[in-house]
Amino acid sequence: MVIRARASGEILGMASYMRNRETMGSTEVGCVTFAKKLQRTTIATEAIYLMARHVFEDLGYRRFEWKCHAQNAASMRAAVRFGFIYEGTFRNDMVFKGRNRDTAWYSMIDSEWPDLDAAFRAWLSPENFDEAGQQRATLEAYRKALQAA
């Protein structure tokens, strides 16, 4: 998936499905590259939402994964912000560019999807943004409110 700016069409990032295991009902979002001006934006959140919605609603999968280098704090924060749950770190998972890589694993699963979907939709709603485009409530706040209900 190529992610573009709405007005200009400028390419701001990309993400793709990886490790697609149809028989297991599982896939992973990978090759996530967000330009600085895409990070922590409505467009970035909507892109991940659309990918997750496709996984759960169109494909009927049970699991959507996010994996990243355990030293990539920005990617780990993004996974949590989008609603992925930390599952653990695979130590000495691979050698990348001649160095050891520990891989942090995150996931969302089908039983969590209805609340995640509702939180994403509420957060993406125009009513959640003021005239300057600033969010009124965080995505996490919407998730917590749904969990408390």
Q: Summarize pLDDT for 73-84 with one digit per residue, the tens.
A: 999 999 999 999
**Residues 53, 41: Cα–Cα separation, whole Å:** 18
**Per-residue pLDDT band at 46 (split at 50, 70, 90):** very high
Q: Determine the average pLDDT of the residues in 106-128.
A: 97
Would you call 116 helix, strand, or coil by DSSP? helix
For residue 16, what pLDDT is reported? Answer: 96
**70, 104 contact by CB (below 8 A):** yes
Task: Record the tokens describing residue 81, joined without a space.
Answer: 């912000």
For residue 5, what pLDDT is reported? Answer: 87
Q: Determine the average pLDDT of the residues in 111-136.
A: 96
pLDDT at 111 over 90: yes
Direct distance between the N- and C-terminal alpha carbons of the chain, in angstroms, rounded to an integer: 34
**Alpha helix ranges (H) inside the chain:** 42-53, 73-81, 113-124, 139-148
Q: Determine the average pLDDT of the residues in 22-50.
A: 95
Q: Determine the average pLDDT of the residues in 44-49.
A: 96
How do the domains of the chain map onto residue ranges? 2-148
In the numeric block, the tokens 């959507």 are attached to 64
pLDDT at 4 over 90: yes
Instruction: Let me know how long the chain is.
Output: 149
pLDDT at 149 over 90: no
pLDDT at 138 over 90: yes
pLDDT at 50 over 90: yes
Share of the chain above pLDDT 90, in %: 91
Mean pLDDT computed over every residue of the chain: 95
Measuring CA to CA, how many Å separate 140 from each of 33, 101, 107, 131?
22, 29, 16, 21
CATH number of the domain at 2-148, please? 3.40.630.30
